[in-house]
Amino acid sequence: MHFRFRLLIVILFSLSLLVGCKSNPLGRASAPTPFPTKTLRPTFTNTPAQPTAVPPTATPPASPTPWPSPTPEPPTAPPPTPTPERPSFTVVEPLVNVRSGPGTNYPRIGQVRQGQTFEITGKNPAGDWWQFNYNGQPAWIIGRLVSARATESVPVASNIPAPPPTPRPAPTATRAPTSTPAPAYAFEQAGQVNKFPNTNPVITVWCLVWNRAGNGLVAGTLRVTGAYNPPDAHFTEQPAYNDPFEQVPINSGSKIEWPYIPGNYSVFLVDPAGNQISPAYNFTVDGEIRKFVFKWKQK
């Protein structure tokens, strides 16, 4: 339709030019007769309808990725509690007796040496004796001869044996002098007595006798009387020594032992007939001084 309209306008314009040329034979240009201009109607362009843009659906914001929770560290283990020291003792004397109960009146069942250490298993009510395991059996040792450690929690032993019965002293018998001849020789005191502490449940007496002249051997009989009268000891001959204070062997067989009975005693030498042939030593047994060495020399 538009094309035809345009073509019609072109034809009309051409015709107008031809008419103008015929009316001007001189060839002079004449002013063209203005052709009425037709106002063009606006051309309608069919614009296809654009689809209404659908606003994009808002994408929901992504949830923030949570930070990983820190892995809890395992709790720090508390430092191990130090193992408490177990009660024990170490022997500090060269040789100490081991007994079946907490006292010197109990039988001796062995000995321990300096430096040995044992675990303490109990104590006596007074706390001055320690119980321990000795060769698989309960045993006791006096506390003042050992160095004990960690004894605050040591309980009183529940298996303390009953003390042994105290031996009853034999009645003192009066020994009548005999009418035997005077001894061939007599003895005098050497002026020295040795005493030693001993926790054994016995009293021990030794004699040491010298031949003053240095020309023979000495033998004889040792006797003890007093709170208890033990059997005599018949000691054998011993080589002579001139110095009564020299350290010499004790006469063989001259030891007398009897149960621990405190009291006053006398000790002297007798001849084969029982006559006293030496001055007597008087001594007292009390506490733990229970071992004695008495010395005489021949006149």
CATH says 88-149 is which class?
Answer: mainly beta
67 or 229: which carries more pLDDT confidence? 229
The CA distance from 189 to 82, in Å, is: 63
Contact status, residue 212 vs residue 223, Cβ threshold 8 Å? no
Contact status, residue 280 vs residue 266, Cβ threshold 8 Å? yes
Pair type for strands 202-210 and 289-298? parallel
pTM: 0.39
pLDDT at 31: 55
Model confidence pLDDT, tens digit, residues 73-132? 777 777 877 788 999 999 999 889 999 999 988 999 999 999 999 999 999 999 999 999
Helix-, strand-, coil-residue percentages of the chain, each rounded to 5:
10, 35, 60
CATH number corresponding to 187-298: 2.60.40
Question: Which are the contacts of 187, defined by CB distance < 8 A and separation ≥ 6?
Answer: 209, 220, 269, 277, 278, 279, 296, 297, 298, 299
pLDDT at 30: 52
Contact status, residue 99 vs residue 161, Cβ threshold 8 Å? no
State in Å, rounded, how far the first CA of the chain is from the last one.
185
Which residues make up the CATH 2.30.30.40 domain(s) of the chain?
88-149
The CA distance from 251 to 245, in Å, is: 14
Model confidence pLDDT, tens digit, residues 57-87? 666 666 667 677 777 777 777 787 778 899 9
What's the DSSP call for residue 286?
B
Binned at pLDDT 50, 70 and 90, residue 183 comes out as very low
Closest CA to 235 of 164, 181, 296: 296
Sign, Cα dihedral of 112, 115, 121, 124: positive
Joined together, the tokens standing for residue 263 give: 């009291």
Task: State residue 86 phi and psi, 5-degree precision.
Answer: -80, 145
Which residues make up the CATH 2.60.40 domain(s) of the chain?
187-298
Binned at pLDDT 50, 70 and 90, residue 271 comes out as confident
Model confidence pLDDT, tens digit, residues 238-261? 554 444 444 455 666 678 899 988
Joined together, the tokens standing for residue 299 give: 């006149």
Joined together, the tokens standing for residue 293 give: 């060495």
List the Cα angle 222/227/228 in 5-degree steps.
55
pLDDT above 90 for 9: no
